[in-house]
């Protein structure tokens, strides 16, 4: 991690890695984005947790993905995508 990296730049990189199906790198960048997050914008923080949960799903880490979607919902209870994703996560665990 560069000393000049910001939460926003790490989040942008993570999204790019996710689209390119480079999930390990995406996860690393989402972790950095959350570690560096200093904004009071709970909606944005919720979105980062939700996006990281999608990455965790792709990596087969279902329990961690559920934790992230739960955190996303706690931060922004209007995050419909997090509710939807959590439903899928719970379904996949029981398949």
CA angle, corner 7, sides to 50 and 85, nearest 5?
Answer: 5
Mean pLDDT calculated for residue range 51-78: 94
Q: How far apart are CA 76 and CA 19, in angstroms?
A: 24
The mean per-residue pLDDT over the stretch 86-94 comes to 72
pTM score, two decimals? 0.88
Q: What is the crossing angle of helices 42-58 and 80-93, to 10°?
A: 30
Could you give the C-alpha distances from 56 to 23, 27, 39, in angstroms and in order? 8, 7, 24
Q: Where are the domains of the chain?
A: 7-93
> pLDDT value at position 94?
59
Q: Average the pLDDT over 43-70 and give the result.
A: 94
Q: Using 50, 70 and 90 to split pLDDT, how confident is the model at 3?
A: very low
Q: Which residue has the higher pLDDT, 39 or 75?
A: 75
- Arch. (CATH architecture) of 7-93: Alpha Horseshoe (1.25)
Alpha helices in the chain (DSSP H): 7-19, 23-36, 42-58, 62-75, 80-93
């Amino acid at each position: 991690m560069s000393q000049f990296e910001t939460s926003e730049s790490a989040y942008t990189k993570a999204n790019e890695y996710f689209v390119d199906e480079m999930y390990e790198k995406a996860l690393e960048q989402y972790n950095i984005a959350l570690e560096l997050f200093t904004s009071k914008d709970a909606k944005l923080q919720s979105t980062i947790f939700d996006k990281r949960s999608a990455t965790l799903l792709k990596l087969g880490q279902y329990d961690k993905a559920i934790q992230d979607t739960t955190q996303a919902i706690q931060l922004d209870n209007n995050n419909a995508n997090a509710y939807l994703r959590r439903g899928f996560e719970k379904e996949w665990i029981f398949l």
